[in-house]
Every structure is written in C-alpha cells, then in structure tokens.
Structure 1
Amino acid sequence: MRMDAIAPERPARRGIRNPWAVLVILTVIYTVGFIDRQILNLLVQPIKADFGLSDTQISLLIGPAFSVAYILFSPLFGRWCDTAPRRNILLGALVVWSGFTALCGFARGFWSLFFARSGVGGAEAGMTPAVWSMLSDMFDARQLPTAFSIFLMAPYLGGGLALLFGGLTIQWVAGSGYEGWPLLAGLAPWQVTFLLVAAPGFVCALVLLAVQEPARREDPAAASAGAMPIAEVVATMRRRRGFYGFFYLGMACNFIPLYAFPAWFPAFAMRRFDMTITEVGVQYGAVTLLSGTIGVLSGPWLARMLQARGYADAYLRLPVITSLVLVAACAGMWMSTSFEVAMLCAGIAGVCYSAPASVAASALQLATPNRMRGMTSAIYVFVATVAGMLLAPTLVALLTDYVFADEARVGESLAIVCAGSAMLTAIVVARALAPYRRIIAGDAA
C-alpha cells in the first residue's frame, strides 16, 4: 500500500490531549529511547572483553549498527508521518525498539549484537518525525521553542540515566544471584542490564495508548491536499538551499560531540584514571544529566537575550557562539591531569552542544511549510545521524586504533574529533544566518 494513499487521520474522541501533558509523555518516551541506544556506551569494556573485540569493532556496534538502519528508515517514517496518525506510528516504533533492546541481552557474538542494535535503530527512526510534527501542531510559534527545549532534554536525560542507571544496575546484577532466575542463567551482567533497560519501553507504550492524536495545524486547502508532493518538497528546498544546505551540514557537525562524548568518555576515564564502571556511570552520568538539562533549558533563554539585542537570527546565531566555547572545553579535557578536571571540561562541553538543540529545531520548523515538516525533520535526522551516530564513534576509534595505535590515547582522539566538528559547526551555521533571516522575514519564496 502506497504511503501517500493512506487516508488522513481523524482525531480520537477520547484521550489525553492537553499539550503539556502530552509533551511530558513524549519526553519520557524519548528519554527511554535514548537510554536504549546509549546504554551500550557504558558496557564497552565488558563486551569488548567477552567477545574479544577491538575499539573499531565496538564503534561499529555503537554507530553503524544503529545508524545505518536509522538512516534507511528515517525518510520512510518522515513521509508516513505526513500522511498517517503519528501517535500510532510512534506506538508501533516504541514496542519494536524495546523488543530489540531486550534481544541485545541475548547476543552471543558480534553479529547477533549488531543485528539487535540495527533493530533498535530502525524502529527509533520513527520517533523524531512523528513527535516533531505533533509538537508543531500542539504549540504555537511563541510556545514552540519552550516545548522543544523540554522535549530535547530527553537525549541528555537519557544519556545521563543510561550511565547512572547502567552503572548501578551492573553493580546490583553482579551481586544479585540472578544466575538461578528463569531465562537469565548463563547471561553476563552486561546482558542482564540490556533486559532491564528494555522494560520501561513497554510501560510507556501502555501510557501512549491514552494519548489523542493532535489535529494538524494548517489551512483548509492544505488539509484537503494532504502531504506536499515530493517534487514540490524538492523544489522548495532547492529555492531555499542557502538555508537548508548550511543548516543541515552545520547542525550535523554539532551532533558529533553529542554522540562522541558519551560513547568514549567512559572508556577514556577507565583507561587514563583507572575508574570502575560504577564510578564512571554514576559520576559522569550525573554530570551528563546536569549539563544537558542546563544546556537545553538555557538555549531558549539565551536566544531571547540575543533577540532582545536585535538579532532576528538568534535561533541560529546561538550554535555559532556555543561551538566556539566547545572547542576550548575539548582542549581542556585533552590536557587534563585528573578525573575531576576532565569531568568539568566534559560538563562544559555538554552545556555547549546541548544549548542549541531546541532553538535549532524550532528554526527548522518555523522556516518550513507545515505540509513538508515531516520530510524536513526526517532529513535533519538523516544528516545528523550520519555525522553523529555513523561517523562520530568510528572516527574516534579509527584515530585511536590506527593513528595513535594505543587505546590509552582515546582521550586525544575524542578531543580532536569533537573540537574539529565544533569549529566546523561555527563556520557552516554562520553561512545559514542571512538566508534564514530572509525566510522568516517573508522575503524568500
């Protein structure tokens, strides 16, 4: 059945429809999803030891195993979300990715874990286009940045909780005597951890059943026309290529530290400072939670400060500023001689790469016609995933394995990759400022 042939959805008669209540539910779901994708980062050392893997092979599990499937399914989900009930799409995706997270716990080698991670990635591709489209219809232009800032706390909450919960879970599992429990006999502690983190997803699915699909916010003619034809989407993006091209490329670079830091900072701390999994999980997890939350919540506030000073392009100017600060934070981590200093630098970096998240997402939505928001959101996810999940962990591993040829120098690799991507973010996003100002002023077609 063709996706563009699906009948437009009709809002449910009953269900949770208060925008802020729905936003909380969607944020929790996104947090659970990020825990599922990020928990592997904390388990690098035991998986590497049990399966005899190199850093490069581990990076393939962290990045390409998840991101290739994510990339392949993102445009399909994006188009589907422009034509079908988004709540239902998200519900199905949530159940599937939670199931594959549980399957990670039964992996017996590299390829079985690779397959399970691919399932998680393919299903999670449905989350962003569905939720972004829903948020754009539930909140007006004034409220949208705040709504996005709350929703986009989830990656940092999820990343932090994956480390914090994962570290404590590993410690608890190791002393729980689970070997005698049904289905768990013969599983390593890291495998049981995957099973435990999969469970909240199924609980969230039950809650999501109570959410009402929001009505699409558009004019009657657009509503009757359905999703914008692909040719028209392409033509619109071509006319506005000065904005879309530089925006996508620059923000993709901004995603590299978001994925590279959680992927390799735990291993860096264990190798350079002899920290345990639990110590790194609890302490770095707490820093990730705090810095990410501060960054995302401060983003709209900082953008409003820039707007008050006359910068109409504040939503895109903020990533330029924070990226320059991030370069300095990466240099500080590289030169750190103690775990505390390294953690401080990682915390500053977390604030810098999280602060632009909500305002950049808002800029994309406000510069895009309603009937093509699903597709532009999916493309954003596509390019961000290529840079963030596909390239970031692997670039760090390749530098460690083949340039430095010393796993103890993973911190240098991490600093080089993140500082370089931050500088590119500042340079490229700056090129999108003028086209963005023309679009929001109504001077662009």
Structure 2
Amino acid sequence: MNASQAAAAPVTNTGEAFGTSGYRNYVIISLMLLYTLNFIDRILIGVVAQPIIEEFKLQDWQFGLLSGFGFALMYTIMGIPIARLAERMNRVRIIAVSVILWSLMTALCGVAGSFIALLVFRVGVGIGEAGLTPAANSIISDYFPPRSRARAIAIYTMGITLGGVLANGFGGPITEMFSWREAFLALGIPGVFFGLLFLFTVKEPPRGYADPPTTTKVEKASLKETMAELSSKKTFWFNMIAAAFVAFVGYAVSNFQVAFFQRAHDMSIADAATQIAVPLGLAASFGAFATGYLTEKLSGKYPNAVAWLPGWMLIACVPFYWIGFTTDNLGFALAVLLIGATLHYGYLGAQYTICQGVASPRSRATAVAVFLFVVNLIGYGLGPLAMGILSDILMSADLASSQFAAELTSDICKGRAEDLIASLGDAKAQACLTASAEGLRWAMVYIVSIFILTGALYVWICRGLQEDLVAKMN
C-alpha cells in the first residue's frame, strides 16, 4: 500500500497494527527523532541562558519571557488550527513542513542582534513546532492498537528528554568554543534535512485503522462537537490540569538549570551542560521509557496504572529535588537529582495516553491540540517566567539583607562577572553573584514543591478513568 492509497482508504477499524513490525518501528523512531529535534531547538535557549542574559543584561524575568512565553504564545495559538488540518489533510506533509520551518527559525536565532529580534525568531520557532505533536499522536494511534500505544507513545516522548541531552551535549561545548550564536546555527540547520527525509519515507495510515472493530465509526467532528464530546470527560480536564502544572515546573527548572549550576557551583557552561544536564536528561529519558513499559505490563491487572504510577512518582521526586538544589556538594547534588529526574519524567507517556484514550478517533488530534494549548500556555508560557520573577524577587531580598543594601540593586548586578568586578570592585561584585545564585536556588526549591499537588491529582484521576476511556488499555 503506498501513501496515496493509504490516505484515500476509508476508515476501517481493524484493531490490528498498520504495516509490518519493522516499518512501524521505523515510523515511531522517526517520530521520536523529529520530537528530539523539536526539543533540541526548544531547549537550546535554556542551555545558553547565562551568556544571553549577560550579553543583553537581562533580568531573569526577561529571560523567562524570552525562553517561555515568547515561544509558547504562538505555539499554543497555532496548535488547534493546525490540528484541525491534521484531522482532514495529509499528516505526514504537515509534520514535514513544520520541521523545516522551526529549524530555519532556530538558525535565525543565531544571527539576532537584539533582545527583540531574538524574541521574534523564538515566536517563529513556536509556530513551526506547533505542527508536530497533534499530527504525530494521530498517526501513532493509527499505526498502533490500544494495547501497544502506551509503549509507542513512551518511545515518541523520549524525544523530549533526548532533545534535552543533545541540546546540552552539543550546545554547551559549542557555546564555550565559539558563542551561543554558533550553537543555534549548528543545531538548527540539520532539521531541514530530516524534515525532507520524513516526507519521502513515511506513509500516511488510514484513519482509525488500529482502533478496535467495535469502535463507533462517525463523521469528522467540528471543533464545537469535539469540545462537546470532551466536556463530559472529567478525566481529560483533570489530566490536562495536572500535566499543565507538571510542565510549569519542568520548563521552569530546565530553562534555568544550566544557569543555576553556573551561578551556584561556579561551573563553566560546557561543564554544567555536559556533566549535569546531560546525565539528568538521560535519567529523564530512562524514566519516561521505563514507566511506559511498566504501565503496559501492569495495565492488564491494574487498569489505572497509567495514572497512579506516575502520580506517586511525582510525589516521590520532590525531596530528591530539594536536596539536589540546596546541597553544596556537586557530586551528591547530581546523584539525588538523577533519582528525581527519573521519577519526575515518568508522567510523559501517561499524559498523552490518557488524553488519546478518552477521545474518539474523529477528534483525537484536536483533543491533543486543546490539551497542548493549555499545557504549553501554562507550562511553557508561564513556568520560566514565574521562575524568573521569583528568582529576581529573592535576589533582591538577598541584596537588601547584604552590607551593600543601599548601593546594590538587581539591575546594577546584571552583566558578566569580570565586568561587575571592574565596575563595582571585588566585594560588591561577589555580593551580586551570591545574590543571583541564591535567588535562583530558592526559586527552584519552591517551584518543584508543586509536584506534590500534581502527583496527588494523577492519583485522584483513577476514580473516573475507566468510565471515560474509549479504548481500554487491557
């Protein structure tokens, strides 16, 4: 069956996987690779945070706006209309065009001459990235039957953490060898090639192919009809709220993580990225995959494992994060943060599995888009901004309690360390650097505490999950 035949085929619910096992593996690995590129380009700005803050003399809240809300606004606004196109048009083409667009915008970030120009290109990255996940989730649901989707989605979502690993693994050293500008160019341009490769090698599957034969076959739903369908699914909305605040914390921490270790532990950007962020990304990737695998194994006996397993893991990760951000022992900090990251990122497959599972095939991509609209607006849009605001507030409080309270402000304290020493002298410069580090440290501690509430909400979701699911996992 070629791509055109697949696209023209009527919706036929077979309950079977689409294509050969080897080809399905190629498709899911390809989607994971694109999601990896998606997050490389999304996360890279967090890797090079400190050089950008120092070059443009930004407050932390301004960087939070740049790295979070500037990207998330158009990402969320464009998500739903692109998802509506994915319900009717060729999803492979939508994904390919999106990959090429965001890759070009990422490369342009490397030539930005001002804070405003960088913000505009970040908006462009957000527009491009909006086209991937709704269409990818829809394709996955047609290639894989319900019993296999948790693992397939877990593989796909490994792109989130693998993207972070590669963004740090290459972005930090490139920035230290050259500058943050070359990092954007080197990591943005390859996406154009991979977008074209996906376009010419992946088949568009028949819609609803892998759903059980008993699944009701209906006409495509309008946005109004999709919202009406979801309105009675409490699980969808509580999953969305929980995922939004997990993302709020996750993006807040990841966007300032490298900067924190540069400030608090006096690490170079290459060392902070490769020695801290890369291992944490690998641990997060392992956590996402392992939890998806465990969910598939446990769901036969415990149908609600998809919700309670990540819920308890989110609660359990909090003390490890607290210790990791407050200890001055770098090795111990990394050890406990590795455990925290493994537990934290187990929720990734669950959020999409639940979101897909409660929506019918006719509205699945739109349901994912609505879900992502809220998750990314709250999570990516407000998380880094909140972290930046809180960091600035706590930094100002630290300065106010120092011996230089009458002379130093957060504005005066922005810039490269060597420039601060030259303009303020050693003592005042050190007061500035200490306040910057401590402000960010305690902002991290306070914000990760939100995981306790989100974990509890995932556990609570179990009460109505089975009633709302369209296709049972067992």
Fold shared, TM-score > 0.5 on shorter chain: yes
Corresponding letter in the other structure for 2:8: R
Establish whether residue 419 from structure 1 lines up as the match of residue 438 from structure 2.
Answer: no
TM-score, normalising length from structure 1?
A: 0.88
Query: 1:29 & 1:153 partners in 2: Cα distance?
Result: 11
- Residue 266 of structure 1: which of 238, 242, 258 is its match? 258
2:82–2:131 CA contact under 8 A, matched in 1: yes
* 2:259 is equivalent to residue 229 of structure 1: no
The root-mean-square deviation of aligned C-alpha atoms, in Å, is 2.5
Alignment of 1:113-152 (within 5 A): 113-152=118-157
Structure 2 residue 268 is matched with structure 1 residue 238: no
Alignment partner of 1:21 is 2:26: yes
1:158-197 matches, within 5 Å, as 158-172=163-177, 174=178, 189-197=179-187
Q: Alignment partner for residue 340 of structure 1, among 311, 322, 331?
A: 331
CA distance in 2, matches of 1:164, 1:203: 21
Q: 1:442 to 1:193 in 2, by over 3 A?
A: closer
Structure 1's 412 and 377: CA in aligned 2 closer, same or farther, altered over 3 A? same
Identity of paired residues, percent? Answer: 27
Shift of 1:163: 0.6
1:169–1:334 distance in 2 versus 1, CA, 3 Å: closer
Contact 1:253 1:388 in 2 (8 A): yes
Please give the secondary structure, in 2, of the residue aligned with 1:18. Answer: helix
- Letter aligned with residue 323 of structure 1: L
Give 2:289's match in structure 1, choosing from 293, 297, 314.
297
Describe the shift of the 1:288–1:442 C-alpha distance in structure 2 as closer, same or farther (beyond 3 A): closer
SS at the partner of 1:63?
Answer: helix
Residues 255 and 388 in structure 1, CA contact (< 8 A), matched pair in contact too: yes
> How much has 1:440 moved relative to structure 2?
3.5
Choose which of 391, 394, 407 in structure 1 pairs with 2:436: 407
Alignment check: 8 A CA contact 1:42 1:163 kept? yes
**Residue in 2 that maps onto 1:93:** 98
Does the C-alpha gap of structure 1 residues 222 and 363 become closer, same or farther in structure 2, counting only changes over 3 Å?
A: closer
| 1:254 match: secondary structure | helix
Structure 1: how far apart are the matches of 2:131 and 2:169? Answer: 26
Q: For 1:64-83, what per-residue CA distance to the aligned partner results, in whole angstroms no more than 9, with x for missing partners?
A: 11001111101111211111
Do structure 1's residue 430 and structure 2's residue 423 form an aligned pair?
A: no
Tell whether the 8 Å contact from 1:78 to 1:375 is kept in structure 2 after alignment.
yes
Post-superposition offset of 1:390:
0.9
Contact 2:312–2:456 (CA<8 Å) still a contact in 1? Answer: no
Q: Confirm or deny: 8 A CA contact 1:89 1:126 kept in the other structure.
A: yes
1:200-234 Cα distance to aligned partner (Å, 9 max, x none): 20110121122111111258999996421223212
Q: Map 1:197-208 to 2 at 5 A.
A: 197-208=187-198
Residue segments in structure 1 that go unaligned for 5+ positions in a row: 1-7, 175-188
Q: Call closer, same or farther: CA 1:17–1:383 in 2, change over 3 Å.
A: farther
Q: Please, which moves more after superposition, 112-121 or 377-386?
A: 377-386
1:236 deviation in Å? 1.4
> Which portions of structure 1, spanning 4 or more consecutive aligned residues, are displaced by more than 6 angstroms?
219-224
SS of 1:286's partner is: helix
| Matching of residues 250-399 of structure 1 within 5 Å | 250-304=242-296, 306-307=298-299, 310-399=301-390
Deviations 1:141-162 (A, max 9, x none): 1211111111111010001110
How far apart, CA to CA, are the structure 1 residues paired with 2:381 and 2:291?
A: 26
Cross-structure match for 2:404: none
Count of residue pairs the alignment pairs up: 416
For 2:297 and 2:326, the matched residues in 1 are separated by 33
1:222–1:371 Cα change, 3 Å: farther
Contact 1:326–1:419 (CA<8 Å) still a contact in 2? Answer: no
1:346 shift after superposition? 2.4
Contact 2:101 2:125 in 1 (8 A): yes
C-alpha offsets along residues 305-353 of structure 1, whole Å, 9 cap, x if unaligned?
A: 6446x43211011121011112112221233122222222322222122
Going from structure 1 to structure 2, the CA distance change for 1:161 and 1:72 (only over 3 Å counts) comes to same
Within 1, Cα distance between the matches of 2:215 and 2:325? 52
Q: 1:315 to 1:26 in 2, by over 3 A?
A: same
Whether the 8 Å contact between 2:76 and 2:377 is mirrored in structure 1 is yes
- Describe the shift of the 1:371–1:57 C-alpha distance in structure 2 as closer, same or farther (beyond 3 A): same
1:82 and 2:87 correspond: yes
Determine the C-alpha separation between the residues in 2 that align with 1:359 and 1:140.
Answer: 16
Deviation at 1:261, TM superposition (A): 2.4
Contact 1:317/1:433 (8 A) holds in 2: yes
Tell me, in whole angstroms, the C-alpha distance in 2 between the residues paired with 1:335 and 1:192.
Answer: 33
Alpha-carbon distance in 2 for matches of 1:275, 1:141: 46
Distance 2:78 2:227 in 1: 19
Q: Counterparts of 2:280 and 2:227 in 1: how far apart (Å)? A: 38
